[in-house]
Amino acid sequence: MPLIRQHFDKTSAAKVVAKDIADLIGLRSLSGKKTVLGLATGSTPLPLYAELIRL
């Protein structure tokens, strides 16, 4: 079952989700696996993408 978390602003949500993505990529990389991301377009995911770049 997926984990559901509530965030009260987009900045905190972007930080948590970006960390989750970075952790997943790191774990898969350690086991020699690749990670494929399907990225959305538009302005909604921009805070997430900015946080991924920052990490």
Per-residue confidence (pLDDT) for residue 31, from 0 to 100: 95
Which domain covers residue 44, as residue numbers?
Answer: 10-30+40-54
Residue at 4 is within a domain: no
Residue at 20 is within a domain: yes
Residue range 1-55, pLDDT digits in tens: 678 889 999 999 999 999 999 999 999 999 999 999 999 999 999 999 999 999 9
Q: Burial-class residue 14 by CB neighbours within 10 Å (0-12, 13-18, 19+).
A: buried
CA distance 30 to 44: 31
Residue at 2 is within a domain: no
Residue at 19 is within a domain: yes
Residue at 23 is within a domain: yes
**Count of domains for the chain:** 1
